[in-house]
Amino acid sequence: MSTARLAFALWRGDPTYADWLRAAVGPELESLSLTGIRVNIDDEHVAAAQLRLSTFDVAPDAFVFATTAPGAAPAEVGAAALTLLRTRAARVEGWRVETVEPLVAPAGPAGERDPGLANVALIRRRAGIDDAEFVRRWQGDHTAVAIATQDTCGYVQNRVVDGLEESTPELAAIVEETFPMAGMTDLHAFYGSGGDDAELSRRMTELMESVSRFADDRIDVVPTSRYRVLR
């Protein structure tokens, strides 16, 4: 069963921006009727990560995911959250999403960094297919392929319902996959191919062929550290 949530992409703002996201943003967002708050930041822990893709002139470097409290209006809460996040970030974009978690990642204590490398991908729908077919190919067909061809220890799928503003960039999905930290610089660790180059090539080919069935080539990938700032 999916969970209705809000997702925000952020671009770096003032010098205290990352510390604010890690330590203070949770209670501030909670006061706006948001719960289950997670923050993902491209910080010093993942600076060595080699897989980085961006369709933007400047890539986002943080993400906030949260659930609207029962009885609260998502549009109103989303607008208030955008206003709050824009007090520190140079740019913020937000979406309403429906979330499923096929593979639950290891979690650290609230307020501390979760284990592993958390890659956040922004995905646009392939031309020529509608939303229902996108979901069938992505969540119905691709999920098993993604887990089988990579050494993932966590997998979160956020299907985008709509943007919070008329100017919000159009996305079909926001995906978060968690890998061993060695996967930042070692393809074999990333794909779980055990040092076998032929197996690595096979896994990479199978994965990318599967992705191409539902996504176009405008994909952003941002390596992050994940912090569960408020459960």
Residue 2: CB atoms within 10 Å = 13
Q: Who has greater pLDDT, 228 or 124?
A: 124
Distance CA 59, CA 112 (A): 24
Confidence at residue 14, expressed as pLDDT on a 0 to 100 scale:
80
Residue 53 DSSP one-character state: B
Assess whether pLDDT exceeds 70 at residue 120: yes
Structure tokens given for 169: 């960039």
Closest CA to 100 of 1, 178, 214: 1
Distance CA 198, CA 231 (A): 42
Q: Is 116 exposed, middle or buried (CB count within 10 Å of its CB: 0-12, 13-18, 19+)? A: buried
Neighbouring C-alpha atoms within 13 Å toward the C-beta of 183: 25
Instruction: Give the mean pLDDT of 145-160.
Output: 98
CB 193 within 8 A of CB 199: yes
Q: What is the pLDDT of residues 195-223, one digit of tens each?
A: 999 999 999 999 999 999 999 999 999 99
Q: Three-state SS for 74?
A: helix
Distance CA 61, CA 120 (A): 10
CA distances from 183 to 49, 63, 170, 206, 223 (A): 8, 21, 29, 18, 11
Structure tokens given for 212: 């191409």
Phi-psi bin for 111: left (phi > 0), alpha (psi -120 to 50), beta? left
Q: What is the pLDDT of residues 158-200, one digit of tens each?
A: 999 999 999 999 999 999 999 999 999 999 999 999 999 999 9
Q: What is the pLDDT of residues 21-72, one digit of tens each?
A: 998 899 999 999 999 999 999 999 999 999 999 999 999 999 999 999 999 9
- What class is the 3-230 domain? alpha beta
CA dihedral sign of residues 210, 211, 217, 223: negative
Of all residues in the chain, the percent with pLDDT exceeding 70 is 99
Of all residues in the chain, the percent with pLDDT exceeding 90 is 89
Taking the domains of the chain in order of start, what are their residue ranges? Answer: 3-230
Concatenating the DSSP letter of every residue in 113-170 gives BPSSEEEEEEE-BPTT--HHHHHIIIIIIIHHHHHHHS--SEEEEEEEEEESSTTSPP
